[in-house]
Amino acid sequence: MENEANRGTRSVRHGEPARRVIASYDNYAQAEAAVDYLADRRFPVGKVAIVGRDIRLVEQVTGRMTYLKAVLHGAAAGALPGALIGWLFGLFSWIDPLTSSLLLALYGLFFGAVLGGLLNVVVYALQGGRRDFAAIAAMQPTSYDIVVDLDQADQAARELDSRGQLGT
């Protein structure tokens, strides 16, 4: 981890003021607790950012994919948008908007599930066995930096250091 001597200034976004890293943490909960501590001390937390560093893509395999699972995943993914679209179209009915929206939401749910299931099984079949597993992808930083605008960085570091909240 970085120490105070080699921490530089950097801007999180173009056009924003330069910021300095005042603390680094191994997990988000620790970084969040540090910012919460600053907020409890009436520190202007609008000048603070939590920045994830060294981001990596982690794809957690959840199981083997089969044609049945492909249909079910597609149906689940298509049902909700179909119901929402049906409900919205039903709201434009002049005669009985409540009944129309509920009925069209039900039709949309069914149509979205069928269409989603069919499309997903076709995509799965076209892959030709190259991806016979289901997975959930997530971006995970290896550490989290607390960065503060230069004009407030020293005060924030003192606040965190006074209660032992200063990270590595």
Same domain, 69 and 122: yes
Same domain, 68 and 8: no
Same domain, 41 and 75: no
- As a 3-state breakdown, the chain gives helix, strand, coil percent values, each rounded to 5, of 50, 25, 25
pTM of the model: 0.58
How do residues 151-160 score in pLDDT, each as one tens digit? 888 899 988 8
How do residues 53-111 score in pLDDT, each as one tens digit? 999 999 999 999 999 999 999 999 999 999 999 888 888 877 777 778 888 999 999 99
| % of residues, the chain, pLDDT over 70 | 86
**In the predicted model, what is the mean pLDDT of the chain?**
86
Give the domain extent around 108: 58-138
Long-range Cβ pairs for the range 5-11 (8 Å, 24+): 9/150, 10/147
d(CA 94, CA 51): 51
d(CA 49, CA 117): 42
| % of residues, the chain, pLDDT over 90 | 57
49 DSSP 8-state letter: E
